Each structure stands twice: as structure tokens, then as C-alpha cells.
Amino acid sequence: MLAHTTNFAPAPVRNARTAPPAATHGLADALDMMGAPMTFKRNAEIYGENEPAEYLYKLVKGAVRTSKFLDDGRRQIGDFYMPGDIFGLEAAAEHTFSAEAISDVQVIVVKRSAVEALAVRDNDVARQLWTMTRRELQRMQDHILLLIKTAQERVAGFLLEMANRIKARDEFDLPMSRQDIADYLGLTIETVSRTLTSLENSAAIALPSSRRVVLRNRAALARMNA
Amino acid sequence: MLAHTTNFAPAPVRNARTAPPAATHGLADALDMMGAPMTFKRNAEIYGENEPAEYLYKLVKGAVRTSKFLDDGRRQIGDFYMPGDIFGLEAAAEHTFSAEAISDVQVIVVKRSAVEALAVRDNDVARQLWTMTRRELQRMQDHILLLIKTAQERVAGFLLEMANRIKARDEFDLPMSRQDIADYLGLTIETVSRTLTSLENSAAIALPSSRRVVLRNRAALARMNA
DNA sequence: CGACACTTTGACGCACTTCAAAGGGGGTGG
DNA sequence: CCACCCCCTTTGAAGTGCGTCAAAGTGTCG
């Protein structure tokens, strides 16, 4: 484990997002310092369900999903992560979800114990860990709100959320497949596909290719988001 | 605000649950010391959506729900809290859900800023805040898993979860109404009612009264939980 | 005892699933 | 460079679980 396949540390794409309360920088930098770069190929497992949660991950490049299988084969996607995001925070002693690379992925991996040791010395780091966890919790709550809505509302909400996460304005590529979207939204792949087609027909979006999305009418999408 | 109607501090029902890594005691005790007792009547709002999140609450007696309304009137219950639980942690600057008393409720209220000040001095408290938040996050993930299942699976899972939360073995009273259950599970009140009846008919549970539940066949319920 | 709020039961409709098959599109080998 | 193949996505037709609308129990508190 932890044998990294490449060791280039590319001018580390720091949090270029619009000033997140300045809070995350200490922690993010610390992770960069303490961590080891690693890469994963598309569809590779980064960690598995029920594995001990020994590491934190900062996503540098690519996209990651967390997922969990039910006994009968149904799959639920917990969340998607984009470059700049930190994941692996969710868990207590063991991961309840597994994490997989959606595309080829570059991450910085840090031992949890090291981060926690740092947190004991540096209260700022401790507070930031707490803040990040709360942010994750908020996303879970938003996810719950999505899951009680109609198919159209879920898909519209999903597209708006992705636009934000990717920091794109109106046009972007979805990193994940229709199946991943379906399993995130608790729908079938057919319903997702049909709903996207219907949104395109109503001129709310355009789909130049199956992965590429153009938001043509954000207001309409937001309205659907109930 | 904070005018408490009773000031008895009853032999504080400490976390009698099976040894939670001993971790929560420092924090729970600190809250008892720093906090002010308050009571809320059934259906009273403890805090509202979009209110600044200034306080943490430790539930002493009664039951609490957090909820959020969608524009069209649909309501989602975020979580239920039982005596011993701490709530109000979820939020960043503002509450995204409101909290209401399900029954008459006694809480200990503590200023968030005071807890955070304590956390700066006491790393143990900081770690415990983080741990509690992670526990909350786990519950949200479990909630998400419930929401993608069939009605029967949701209700079965809900009953098992409640049995754990209430620390009851096989028989207990539900503190919440059918409507609350429905809004927690993303179902209608009729579907919840029908499903409970069907579980009773299949001898998985008994319902001596509408609020009282007897788990007759935990294994069957667990099997339904997929 | 009566009124009200909550719960249960019934009949019907619809949104989403299921099952099935027909498009793409992109990568590899000939 | 083209052709073939595989995987993903889209579209269609039919089935069903849950929602909706309606009304009849049931328990509780004044």
C-alpha cells in the first residue's frame, strides 16, 4: 500500500475557489506537506467498506465517488468529490462507504493519526477538521432533501449542485456516468436519461454530448428544485 | 429568551449507553456546568430555519425533531433526538433545519461561543465536538440509505433504529406521530400506517396502541432492512 | 359526553420501475 | 484509416408501489 505510481507533485493546484473563510488553508497546506502523492486508475478502489479509516485524502485531479452496496445489489452513492476536496473525513473507526476513482485520479494521502496529532498541538487545525466535517454534514442534509423530491426536481438539483462543485458557470462536463447519477439520486438510469431528455426538450438545458451539459435556464432549474 | 421555567437539575441522566469510548463525558459534563436549563412545551420551536446558530442543546427529557419545509409545503424531518443526545451541532453559521419539541422537553442550553472558547483551551473538548459531529454525519448517511429503500424496508429500519435510540429492548413507545415518521422516511402517513399494519399481520411486530411498539421478530425486520 | 386530532382502511391514479431493444461513440486491431 | 466491437445511453411499452382522495374508526381531554 501507498506505493505511489507517479511522484510528480505538480504545482499543487491550491484551493483556487472563491475565498472559503480563509479557514481551510492551514489544514490544506498541512496535508500537502505531510502527505504522499498517489494515483488511481479509473474505477480503482481507493478504500473499501469496513476497512479501517487510516488515511485522509485530498483530491488533486480527477473525480471520486463514495458508494455502498446493499445486500441485494442496489448501490447508493454517498457523494462525489472534485479537485480541492478532502475526503475520508466521514468515517469513525471504519469506513461505511467505499471510495472509487471515477476517472484517473491524483490524491495526496495523509495518515489520520498524523493529522490528529497535529490537531492536538494546533487548535486551528482541530477547528478546521470540525468545520470540514460540518460542511460534509450539510451536504448530506442537502442530499437527503434531494431524495424526497420528484425525479425532475432531483435531476435539476443535481445539475445545479454539480455546476457549483465544478465551479463552472453554465457549461461543463459531468465526470460520472448516468448509472452513477442514478445511484446518487436513488433513481434508475432510464429515469435519469428520460428526465435529462425532457429537460433538454423544455430548453432548460442542452446536451451537446452525453457527458457535456449546458445550463440554458438556471432560473427554471432552480424553480424545479422546489 | 433563556428565561427558564423550571430550574431543577434532576440527577442528570448521564449517558447510560454502553460505554461510548468514554470520550463524551468531558464534554457532556462541561455542558451541564456551563449550560442553563430550559423547558419547551410540546410543538414549541426550539430554534428556526435560518436563525443564527448560537446555542448547543443537550436534551435531558422528552424528544426533539429537526425539520425543514420545502416551498410547496412538503416537510422533511432531519433527525430525532432522545434524552442524552446533543443537538444544534449540525449547523455552520445558520441552522438549515429548525428544531421542535415533540413532547414537553427539558434541555440544557449552552452558548456555542462558550463551548468553542473551551475547545481552544481544552483539546479534548475539541476532539469530542468533532467526534459528535462525525456521529451525526453517520446518522445522516444511514438516513440516506433508508430513503432509497422500499416502504417496508424504511419502516422496518426505522423501528430498529428507534429501538436502539431509545435503548429499549423489544417494547417501547414511539415519541412521534405517524406524520413525523412519514416525513422522516419520505413517505405519506397512509403508507406508514398501512406498512405498520402489514408488519403486524406478518407477526414481525405488535401494536398494542398506536404509539406502542413490540418487536416480535427482530430477525425478520433486520432481513427487510436489506 | 361531545369535539377534535390522529390513525386506519379503501378505491383509484400516476410517476417511476422493469423489461426490452435500438442507437451512438470511441478505442483497438486488422 | 476504416471497421468492428463493446459499453454506455436513449427510447419504447407495460407493470406496480406508493400517492391521492375520501371516509370511517379510535383515543383523549375539556
Angle CA B59–A131–A12, to nearest 5: 165
Is A4 contained in some domain? no
Tell me if A148 and B120 make a contact (CB, 8 A cut-off).
no
Judged by a CB distance cut-off of 8 A, whether residue B133 touches chain A is: yes
Is B189 contained in some domain? yes
B190 CB and strand D closer than 7 A: yes
B151 CB and strand C closer than 7 A: no
Domain boundary among the residues B76, B111, B146 is at B146
Rounded CA gap, A216 and A84, in Å?
27
Q: How far is the CA of A76 from the C1' of D23 (A)?
A: 39
Considering the domain architecture, whether residues A50 and A94 belong to the same structural domain is answered as yes
DSSP label at residue B210: S
- Alpha-carbon torsion (B118, A85, B50, B180), positive or negative: negative
Considering the domain architecture, whether residues A108 and A214 belong to the same structural domain is answered as no
Considering the domain architecture, whether residues B138 and B181 belong to the same structural domain is answered as no
Residue in chain B lying closest to A135 (CA): B92
Give chain A's domain count.
2
pTM of the model: 0.89
CATH of the domain at B184: 1.10.10.10
Is A168 contained in some domain? yes
- The distance of A7 to chain B (nearest Cα, Å) reads 32
From first to last of its 226 residues, chain A has per-residue pLDDT tens of: 433 433 333 333 333 333 344 444 577 778 888 999 999 999 999 999 999 999 999 999 999 999 999 988 999 999 999 999 999 988 788 999 999 999 999 999 999 999 989 988 888 888 888 899 999 999 999 999 999 999 999 999 999 999 999 998 899 999 999 999 999 999 999 999 999 999 999 999 999 999 999 999 999 999 998 7
Judged by a CB distance cut-off of 8 A, whether residue A226 touches chain B is: yes
Domain boundary among the residues B127, B146, B165 is at B146
Q: Is residue B27 left, alpha or beta, with left meaning phi > 0 and alpha meaning psi from -120 to 50?
A: alpha
Judged by a CB distance cut-off of 8 A, whether residue A96 touches chain B is: yes
CATH of the domain at B134: 2.60.120.10
- The distance of A207 to chain B (nearest Cα, Å) reads 27
Instruction: Please measure the distance between the N-terminal and C-terminal CA atoms of chain B and give it in whole angstroms.
Output: 46
Considering the domain architecture, whether residues B142 and B199 belong to the same structural domain is answered as no
B155 CB and strand C closer than 7 A: no
Q: In this predicted structure, what is the pLDDT of residue A25?
A: 58
Q: In this predicted structure, what is the pLDDT of residue A176?
A: 98
B151 CB and strand D closer than 7 A: yes
Neighbours of A48 (CB within 10 A): 12
Is B193 contained in some domain? yes
Considering the domain architecture, whether residues B124 and B80 belong to the same structural domain is answered as yes
Considering the domain architecture, whether residues B73 and B164 belong to the same structural domain is answered as no
Is B2 contained in some domain? no
Mean pLDDT per 10-residue interval, chain B, length 226 residues: 38 38 63 92 96 96 97 95 94 91 97 91 86 94 98 98 94 98 98 98 97 97 91
Strands B75-81 and A212-215: unpaired
Is A45 contained in some domain? yes
Considering the domain architecture, whether residues A30 and A138 belong to the same structural domain is answered as yes
Instruction: Convert A80-97 to b/e letters by CB count within 10 Å (16 or more is b).
Output: bbbbbbbbbbbbeeebbb
Considering the domain architecture, whether residues B202 and B176 belong to the same structural domain is answered as yes
Neighbours of A166 (CB within 10 A): 17
Residue in chain A lying closest to B88 (CA): A134
Rounded CA gap, A43 and A100, in Å?
6
**Cα B210 to Cα A13, B61, B166, B198, B214, distances in angstroms:** 57, 22, 17, 14, 11
Domain hosting A195: range is: 151-225
Residues of B in contact with A120 (CB under 8 A): 123, 127
Judged by a CB distance cut-off of 8 A, whether residue B113 touches chain A is: no
- Alpha-carbon torsion (B157, B161, B164, B169), positive or negative: negative
Cell numbers linked to A79: 457523494
Question: Are B57 and A211 within 8 A, CB to CB?
Answer: no
Tell me if A141 and B89 make a contact (CB, 8 A cut-off).
no
Considering the domain architecture, whether residues B169 and B79 belong to the same structural domain is answered as no
Is A2 contained in some domain? no
Considering the domain architecture, whether residues A156 and A84 belong to the same structural domain is answered as no
Cell numbers linked to B139: 446518522
Considering the domain architecture, whether residues A114 and A184 belong to the same structural domain is answered as no
Q: Which residue has the cell 445489489?
A: A73
Domain boundary among the residues A91, A115, A146 is at A146
Which of B125, B148, B224, B225 to probe the A interface (max A CBs under 10 A)?
B148
Q: In this predicted structure, what is the pLDDT of residue B25?
A: 58
Neighbours of B25 (CB within 10 A): 14
Rounded CA gap, A76 and A70, in Å?
8
Is B5 contained in some domain? no
Considering the domain architecture, whether residues A138 and A156 belong to the same structural domain is answered as no
